[in-house]
Structures are given as structure tokens and as C-alpha cells.
Structure 1
Amino acid sequence: MMNVVNGVMTGVLLVLFIGIWVWAWSGRNRKNFDEMANLPLQDVNEESGVANND
């Protein structure tokens, strides 16, 4: 019985992993992920906390 539970849990986690992978690599998320990836590279105005994109 425990082997069946382990097998079902493995299958559920595999499907969940593949679903998250597909969501992360979908084209509609690319713009947001690219913006977040560039945040550490932007200069920040210390007084206002607003990024300077010059």
C-alpha cells in the first residue's frame, strides 16, 4: 500500500514540476522576468528610491 502512495506522490510532484517549468518558460512571462533580471544592474537614486534608466 505504501508503494502505491509513493508512486502517486511522485507522479503528482512530477506533473507539478513540469507545470511550473512550462509556466516559467512561457513567452508571456519573458518581459517580466527580463525586467526583474535587470533590476540589480539599474542605478537607484538614493533620495527617491527610483531607478535611473539613463
Structure 2
Amino acid sequence: MTTIAFLLALTVVWYVFGLSVPRSKRGLTDAICKILFGCSLIAIAINHFNS
């Protein structure tokens, strides 16, 4: 259950952060967010399989 809450929080932060960034820098910000999001998903998956 905490995993779902964590993903929802990440999505909200990503959305708010994306809206606050000017369009010219949005591509770079989006790439960074995707990398962070992907890494966190992998970490959650590893954690889930280890328990």
C-alpha cells in the first residue's frame, strides 16, 4: 500500500515540477524526472522481490 502512495506522491511532484519549469527547459527536466522515476520503480521492484 505504501508503494502506491509513494508512486502517487512522485507523480504529483513530477506534475507540479513540470508545470513550474519554463517550456525551453522542460525537455531536460522531463528526462531527469523519467530517470529518477525509472530508478525508483526498479528500487521498489527489487525491494518487493527481496521481502
TM-score if structure 2 supplies the norm length? 0.51
Aligned residues: 27
RMSD, aligned α-carbons: 0.5
Rg: which structure is higher?
A: 1
Segments of 4+ in structure 1 off by > 2 A? none
| TM-score, scaled to structure 1 | 0.48
The answer to whether residue 32 in structure 2 is matched with residue 2 in structure 1 is: no
Q: Where does the alignment leave 5 or more consecutive residues of structure 2 unmatched?
A: 1-24
What is the deviation of 1:11?
0.3
Give the gaps of 5 or more residues in structure 1: 30-54
Tell me the residue number matched to 1:49: none
